Every structure is written in structure tokens, then in C-alpha cells.
Structure 1
């Protein structure tokens, strides 16, 4: 893979940096659920997003998988987890300010998916 500079030259160092950046991005956001979770939280910022509500509304995700995905997203500062002082204890999840930087990516992927479906069906 090569990145072409403005002058038309191939810069191998930049190419390697881009390859590593893509690997990092796919490692963090790849898989079946993470972008769905980010999109879900990004579109429901004003709501109280609890674990059970998310599991029910995202659909077909097991509690174990959702817990693991939320923990990884929180560790990478893409979402926040807030334990409410209530009985029973309630935990709310929200997209972080940093996590919002992923939302344009999810919008582009969603649009590409819609366009791709049209292409395949025509």
C-alpha cells in the first residue's frame, strides 16, 4: 500500500503509518457490535441508556457480549459509564465527547451500506 504525496511521490513511511492507523481503528471499532453501540448511543444522547435498555433495543446481543463491548469502549474513552446513587443501583451509558468523533464514520458507513444495497439490487 502506498500513499501518494502531492508531488506524486510514494512515501513509504507515511504508508506504514496509515497501515498501522487502519489496523488500530479496525481493532478498536471492528467486529459486529461496536459501531452499532456507538451509533445507538450517539443517536440517544438525551436518553437514559441503561444496560438492559441497550440490550433490548440493539437486539440479538447477549449480555456477556454487550458487557465486554461496553467495557472496551469505556476503556478507550469512547463512552462513559455512570453509576447512579439509586436503589436499585442504576448504571447509565453515554457517548463521550471523544466518542462523538466516531459518529461521522458511522454515518459514512451507513450511507455506503444503503448505496451498496441499491447497487446489488439493481
Structure 2
């Protein structure tokens, strides 16, 4: 549990986490991939509203943060699949917590 102390290391670790997950799409992409490996268009369908350009950029960023891997298969045309890494899977409790918090938030604030 975090304390209210002003520990610079705590602030730095939160900053690092927020930078790795910043933006409106990364957590939704990780949620999509938590169900197993997917191709680009599958992810695109499961994350409504994201453009192909943005999805491509976010996938590259998630890969550089070692949260997903990009697997290219030697087929014609080439097949590319994205898979969540063990490091990315470590966020499953965070995603689940956000899911339940979002349900409560919607019931309390948005649907009133």
C-alpha cells in the first residue's frame, strides 16, 4: 500500500507507470490481448474508435515497453500477431480493478 509520504522513489515509479500506459488506448489494447494473441484487425475491432495509425503507434509503444510482443510468421502474405508478455500480464489485476471501478463510477456518476 502506498503511503502519503513524499518519497521521491514512489513518485518516480508512479510516473514511470503512467508514462508506459499513458493515453486513452493502451489499457484497452492490453485488455483485448489479455484474451490471447491477436492480429492487427482483431485488435482494431475490439477497440472501437481507434484509427489504424493510432493502433500501430500504440502497439509499437507497448512493444518498446515490453508489455507485448510482435510475432511475424513466414507466410504469404506475412502474418503478424501480437501477444501480451508476462510483464504485461502483471497488469491484469490493475485492469480488473479499473473495470470494477468503472462500473461503480458509471452507476454513481454517469447514469445519475
In structure 1, the residue matched to 2:65 is 76
Query: Which structure 2 residue ranges, 5 or more long, are not aligned?
Result: none
Displacement of 1:17 in angstroms is: 1.1
How many residues get paired? Answer: 110
What is the CA–CA distance in structure 2 between the aligned matches of 1:90 and 1:35, rounded to whole Å?
Answer: 24
In structure 2, the residue matched to 1:54 is 43
Alignment of 1:18-97 (within 5 A): 18-42=10-34, 44-45=35-36, 48-97=37-86
Larger RCO of the pair (alpha carbons < 8 Å, separation 6+): 2
Q: What secondary structure sits across from 2:3 in the alignment?
A: coil
1:104 equivalenced with 2:93 (yes/no): yes
Displacement of 1:105 in angstroms is: 0.5
RMSD: 1.7
Q: What secondary structure sits across from 1:98 in the alignment?
A: helix
TM-score, normalization by structure 1: 0.82
Which of 1 and 2 has greater Rg? 1
Query: Which structure 1 residue ranges, 5 or more long, are not aligned?
Result: 5-9
